[in-house]
Structure 1
Amino acid sequence: MNIGLVGLGLIGGSMGLDLCSIQPRLIHLPADNSSSSRETYRVLGVSRRQSTCEKALAMGVVDEASVDLSLMASADVVFICTPIAAIASTLEQLIPDLKPTAIITDVGSVKQPIVEMLSQVWPRFVGGHPMAGTADSGIEAAQKNLFLGKPYVITPTEKTSNLEIQIVTQIAELLQAKVYQCSPEDHDRAVAWISHLPVSVSASLIAALTAEEDVNVRELAQKLASSGFRDTSRVGGGNPELGVMMARYNRAALLRSLRAYRSRLDEFIDIIEQEDWQTLEGKLIQTQQERNKFNF
């Protein structure tokens, strides 16, 4: 079996590192309801740059690498690990070389528009989203165990076969991720809250501080900033392209969560203006308790 990775940056590179480090390289292939088999797999990688292909081979990210998408002609499963905006065009370029039986999946952080679009182009498409990453990018940022214990969301539709779901799930489990299934729509609404909204809020925090008119206060704040500001500003200081893609492709869900957040922020402003410290304490006790429900 051949597993293809199109895009050898942080996500694709980290996938390859983990998959290539597993020994023995065995994957369970369910043939039908009554039989199954196990076979070894190889990892194939495609990048736009020859230098990236050479680094990927040297780092042990892939068994074979090329700048030519035709390398995916022998792939049984292909992970499209490109930015969101390039996923659809990448699949269109792949189609002439793909096996009719090839399973295609992606790693994009928005699912509904991607799944709707790509399912029409390739019937054996399974939406996927490994929820792991860092602020770094490129093959140099690839690391082992990036997905260890992290959520990996699969978003099948009514037309997705059990075989396709099982194979993508197994590969995600080889990465030691926690696999979840949901609809593309539910994924996008949930991720708007815990990923896309925080980027907007965090970026707004940085922008607000930067707009402080008193230069001395602004510079002092920059010098005094510690763990609290570091943690709350981290995602707002990340990859700008990714932030734009989140907003562009998950616009409706993000706007919904932004408006709800703005409403709660206005509520806190009113409480502080009224010096209603008892109500404020009650709100903070409630948020302290609610935070414990999240699966960090």
Structure 2
Amino acid sequence: MNIGIVGLGLIGGSIALDLRSRGFNIVGVSSRQQTCDRAIARGVVNDASIHLSLMATADLVFICTPLSAIEPIVQKLIPHLSPDAIVTDVGSVKTPIVDAVSALWPNFVGGHPMAGTAESGIEAAVRDLFVGRPYVVTPTAQTPAQSVEKVEEIARLLGASVYRCGPQEHDRAVAWISHLPIMASATLVAACDREGDRDIVNLAQNLASSGFRDTSRVGGGNPELGVMVAKYNREQLLRSLSIYRDSLDELMGDIQAEDWQALEQKLKLTQQAREHYNL
């Protein structure tokens, strides 16, 4: 089976590494010739090019580009695809992508491997990135069943735990556990930086340790990613931010009223609830 990867960064490169090690023929496309050359030199792919025509032999194509590029890439890719080719993506928002791309190529299966690191680019590609991590597949009623099963089969070969749900359900869930944390983390850093006394800010920066590091990490990531998830998952992100704001107001109310019993009860409930998340 020939696997095509469009976008040879962390995710695309890591998928390629794992699948090539399992005997698949991997062809990759990048916008930069330097990336193509490096992907071949590292053994990430069998062949690579800056031209989408390389995808003509692919049975399954992964689109591993930023969200904003997925639809335009598929439009340019279609003339080069074989009629039976399956196209899937790795975008972190599904509803607008599935709607747009399925209209262009009916044999499209929305996907979202939920794994990553703070690094980017072809040098960041690593083996076993997806082992034990969720891989969400988001078909619609019109998605060919055999194509869905093939994408899920490949996801399991990557060692991932496969989940199937609708695009809307996916977006509502990831708004809570992925997109809201980006915004909450970013506003934490922004709030700290609003402290009027710069000496206090400097002291806080020097004292910051694991707690601040962990809670601020995703807010200090790629700004383009934050803008893209806000743009493409706007409705669900706003919904989660509104409920989050209400929760903050409740905590502030308990502290202002010195209602320590109510505050402790809330913190006990969050301590218990956290255990149910796949951390």
Query: Letter of the aligned partner of 1:274 in structure 2?
Result: A
State how 1:195-206 maps to structure 2 within 5 Å.
195-206=178-189
Find the counterpart in structure 1 of residue 218 from structure 2: 235
Find the counterpart in structure 1 of residue 15 from structure 2: 15
Query: How far does residue 107 in structure 1 lie from its aligned partner after superposition?
Result: 0.3
Query: How far does residue 143 in structure 1 lie from its aligned partner after superposition?
Result: 1.1
Query: Letter of the aligned partner of 1:170 in structure 2?
Result: E
Query: How far does residue 116 in structure 1 lie from its aligned partner after superposition?
Result: 0.5
In structure 1, C-alpha distance between the alignment counterparts of 2:115 and 2:268, rounded to whole Å: 30
Find the counterpart in structure 1 of residue 60 from structure 2: 77
Query: Letter of the aligned partner of 1:228 in structure 2?
Result: G
Find the counterpart in structure 2 of residue 36 from structure 1: none
Of 155, 159, 170, 2:153 maps to: 170
Query: How far does residue 162 in structure 1 lie from its aligned partner after superposition?
Result: 1.7
Of 88, 92, 97, 2:71 maps to: 88
Query: How far does residue 217 in structure 1 lie from its aligned partner after superposition?
Result: 0.6
**Normalising by structure 1, what TM-score?**
0.93
Is 1:49 aligned to residue 29 of structure 2?
A: no
Report Cα offsets for 1:189-224 as digits up to 9, x if no partner: 000000000000000000011111111110000000
Of 268, 271, 279, 1:288 maps to: 271
In structure 1, C-alpha distance between the alignment counterparts of 2:129 and 2:135, rounded to whole Å: 11
Query: Letter of the aligned partner of 2:14 in structure 1?
Result: S
In structure 2, C-alpha distance between the alignment counterparts of 1:211 and 1:57, rounded to whole Å: 47
In structure 1, C-alpha distance between the alignment counterparts of 2:82 and 2:211, rounded to whole Å: 51
Q: Give the match's secondary structure for 1:295.
A: coil
State how 1:99-118 maps to structure 2 within 5 Å.
99-118=82-101
In structure 2, C-alpha distance between the alignment counterparts of 1:176 and 1:289, rounded to whole Å: 29
Runs of 4+ in 1 over 3 A off after TM superposition: none
In structure 1, C-alpha distance between the alignment counterparts of 2:40 and 2:156, rounded to whole Å: 23
In structure 2, C-alpha distance between the alignment counterparts of 1:174 and 1:71, rounded to whole Å: 24
In structure 1, C-alpha distance between the alignment counterparts of 2:106 and 2:276, rounded to whole Å: 37
Find the counterpart in structure 1 of residue 120 from structure 2: 137
In structure 2, C-alpha distance between the alignment counterparts of 1:210 and 1:87, rounded to whole Å: 35
Report Cα offsets for 1:140-176 as digits up to 9, x if no partner: 1111111110000000000112210111011111110
Structure 1: runs of 5 or more not aligned = 26-40
Find the counterpart in structure 2 of residue 244 from structure 1: 227
Query: Letter of the aligned partner of 1:140 in structure 2?
Result: E
Is 1:274 aligned to residue 257 of structure 2?
A: yes
Report Cα offsets for 1:211-266 as digits up to 9, x if no partner: 11111110000000000000000000011111100000000000000000000000
Query: Letter of the aligned partner of 1:7 in structure 2?
Result: G
In structure 1, C-alpha distance between the alignment counterparts of 2:32 and 2:243, rounded to whole Å: 43
In structure 1, C-alpha distance between the alignment counterparts of 2:11 and 2:33, rounded to whole Å: 18
Find the counterpart in structure 1 of residue 48 from structure 2: 65
Q: Give the match's secondary structure for 2:110.
A: strand
The number of equivalent residue pairs is: 279
In structure 2, C-alpha distance between the alignment counterparts of 1:180 and 1:205, rounded to whole Å: 32
Task: Indicate the larger mover: 217-226 or 134-143.
Answer: 134-143
Of 152, 156, 170, 1:187 maps to: 170
Is 1:122 aligned to residue 109 of structure 2?
A: no
Query: Letter of the aligned partner of 2:259 in structure 1?
Result: D
Is 1:257 aligned to residue 240 of structure 2?
A: yes
Find the counterpart in structure 1 of residue 133 from structure 2: 150
Structure 2: runs of 5 or more not aligned = none
Query: Letter of the aligned partner of 1:86 in structure 2?
Result: A
Task: Indicate the larger mover: 80-89 or 155-164.
Answer: 155-164
